[in-house]
Structure 1
Amino acid sequence: MSRKSTGRRGTKTSSRKKVGQSSPSRFLKSVIAAALTSFGLATAWLHPQGLNWQSLEPFLVSLGWPTVVQQDSAPVPAAIDGYVQTSFAQCPQFFPGSRPVVPMAYAQRELCFSAFAILHSGQTKTPVFVVQRLNRQQIQSAKGVKRTDRFYAEGRLPQAERAELNDYRGSGFSRGHMAPAGDMASAQSMAQSFSLANMVPQNQAHNAGPWNKIEADTRKYVARAAGNVYVFTGPVYARRAASIGSSQVAVPSHLFKLVYDASTRRSWVHWQANQASTRVSPPISYEEFVRRTGLHLLPDSSLKTLG
């Protein structure tokens, strides 16, 4: 009896010490959790994809917490016979019909935002394409939205597959929007448009000149269109592309902007060399664009082409 009684007392004493030792730790975790939650809520609206929980993981793990985010949280499209069939299950509204089929490449991931969607390449650290659905009302609303210029690295992409702010610093290239900030009809979509997942290294003179005119002309067309206009924008690379920064963000040789009017079923593609000497040139046909790139972005059989 005495041994059993001593054992129980020993167990209770040990338990009390354990509780007493762990209480500060639990309190600290609670305080940190509350702080992180408050921080997350405060920043999520301004930069919904910009909050990088990965940078907090080593500290949280040291406190005994599990990993808070999976690095490869963006969906990966399915590969078929050398091509990729995208799905964009979370944002099908940005597409005029069947989802794009594109050549298969390393680490392609689908990202949905409030006003556009991106197929991102972890190889180039830039978009394969960015797609928007625009209409007259959105263009009118966008005129009243203030530009923010707050660039951020895309937190949903693994660090090894994304561009970082330092990659562009001192590179001589501008951070060229694929979905233009000038198209954004809300403060939230404006903030999201500054994700580096929406950028390519672009020649500064081309970005500020001919490319800016193409973006403005596209908005003018949408403002006159009867219904929805779908716009796909993206980079094209030479076989041996130059790169910038420690992340080796690829520099495109050309940029494209494909405009598709769903009401008239007309399409055209602006094809621009990423150079200071480039001027606005006549658009090419969708068929020629597919031949040059292998990107099947539209439901091909429904199209009437310009020029």
Structure 2
Amino acid sequence: MSTRADYRLAFATSAEHPSIQPDDKHLASSLEHLGVAPVVCVWNDPNIDWSAFDAVLIRTIWDYFKHHSAFLAWLDRLDRLGVPTINDSRLLRWNSDKRYLLELSQHGVAIIPTRLASAAALPEVLATMPGQQVVIKPTISGGAWHTLRGTVGDAEFAAAAARLPRELDYLVQPFVPEVVSAGEWSLLYFAGEFSHAVIKRPASGDYRVQGEHGGSAEPARPDAATLAAADRALAAVAAIGHGDHAYVRVDGVVSEGGFLVMELELIEPFLHLAAHPLAAERLARDVADRLAHARPAAPTAVAS
């Protein structure tokens, strides 16, 4: 065990979730054992001196999409200060806008069929999908924020779509019923290697799998085809130019015999570490290694 902290690591959180969450506690203690002092910092707190840290580990910044311009400006500031982020700031910017799904599709990744539309163009796009159940979500969003599900042609659904914020752009996707009937997969990778997986299920009568909407998650073992599909998605990310990541969660659903990527969570995913302490320790070692390569620790003074 290290007897002193060689590095100071900003553990980035949000005002609504300012403390280290239970799922991250073993990660934080593992970092301490490796000589890394995790310091809780709310990402948009104007009083924090980010230059006092060796790096910023992105964790529970679960409101960044509501303040996207400020989020990008914060990353710019960290870059100017020479303070690295984990994951890398270029990767964070890319992953913060769900347009990346269309880029993945161009690299051969199977995704849920996706149309991009401004708020003004939504009626025109929906008109090409008569009678279909669809999901509309902002390109920059999280936690089902401003997300709608309904049937094209239904007056109530059309009225709800018309009330969506006009300044946002949206993804329009067919609703995949297997999200409800079979659940949504989350596959966790650390330092480029698969670690563990869960299946998330919505509450009865809902389609949203997030815990804040009543969803649940249980450990599960993906079959070879599902794991291979997730691996291909990460290979595509690498081909695009973002091959290095400390953590990633691949979310998707098996539909008509194949795994469809719904999202790649490379910014602030819930990592399901509480039930996997070895995974938390693996991530901690990778973070410590990244710090050591970026800023070698100062040698301990030897008394003469």
The question of a shared fold, defined as TM-score above 0.5 by the shorter chain, is answered with no
Question: TM-score band (shorter)?
Answer: under 0.3
Higher relative contact order by CA 8 Å / sep ≥ 6: 1 or 2? 2
TM-score by length of 1: 0.23
Larger Rg: 1
